């Protein structure tokens, strides 16, 4: 059961959560590329490779995968998803994705990233 404003218990990631993770990483790269007036690629596979490269460069590591493993959610004027993402080896990151209510549009936003996480790190509000 969700409490408005509070985080749910941790849950296993679903295909919906993985898709949300993929979309937000892609949208974040598209947004940053559009601000630098870089032409956006048409091939989604290429775009995912560019997302990986951009995140790898930002955090100074070479991540091998982006697999959503666990998540918590928070009901606000929409839903915040706090997602534990396995990025290869023993490395994890936590991302926060905001999914607004339909009346406000369907644009999901990446709200934050925490690096240097492990499989056992608790997912908390950030």
CA distance 57 to 65: 14
Query: Is the pLDDT reported for residue 121 higher than 60?
Result: yes
Lookup result for tokens 């509070």: 6
In this prediction the pTM is 0.70
On the question of pLDDT at 125 being above 70, the answer is yes
Q: pLDDT, tens digit, for every residue of 56-106?
A: 666 676 666 788 999 999 999 899 999 998 988 888 988 888 888 989 887
Closest CA to 108 of 87, 83, 85, 80: 80
Angle at 104 between CA 101 and CA 109, to 5 degrees: 75
Q: How many alpha carbons lie under 13 Å from residue 124 in its C-beta half-sphere?
A: 5
Per CATH, which fold does 11-117 belong to? Nuclear Transport Factor 2; Chain: A, (3.10.450)
Q: Would you state the pLDDT for residue 24?
A: 66
Mind listing the pLDDT tens digit for each residue in 1-49?
Answer: 555 678 989 999 999 888 887 776 655 444 444 444 444 334 444 545 5
pLDDT of 104 reads: 86
DSSP character at residue 3: -
pLDDT at 44: 42
| DSSP tag of 89 | T
Q: What is the pLDDT of residue 107?
A: 77
């Amino acid at each position: 059961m969700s409490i408005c404003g509070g985080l749910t218990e941790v849950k296993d990631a679903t295909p919906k959560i993985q898709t949300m993770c993929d979309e937000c990483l892609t949208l974040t790269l598209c947004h940053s590329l559009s601000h630098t007036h870089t032409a956006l690629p048409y091939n989604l596979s290429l775009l995912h490779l560019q997302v990986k490269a951009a995140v790898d460069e930002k955090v100074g590591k070479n991540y091998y995968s982006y697999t959503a493993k666990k998540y918590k959610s928070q009901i606000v004027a929409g839903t915040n998803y706090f997602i534990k993402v396995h990025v290869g080896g023993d490395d994890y990151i936590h991302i926060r994705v905001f999914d607004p209510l339909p009346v406000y549009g369907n644009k999901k936003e990446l709200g934050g990233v925490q690096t240097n996480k492990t499989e056992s790190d608790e997912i908390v509000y950030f």
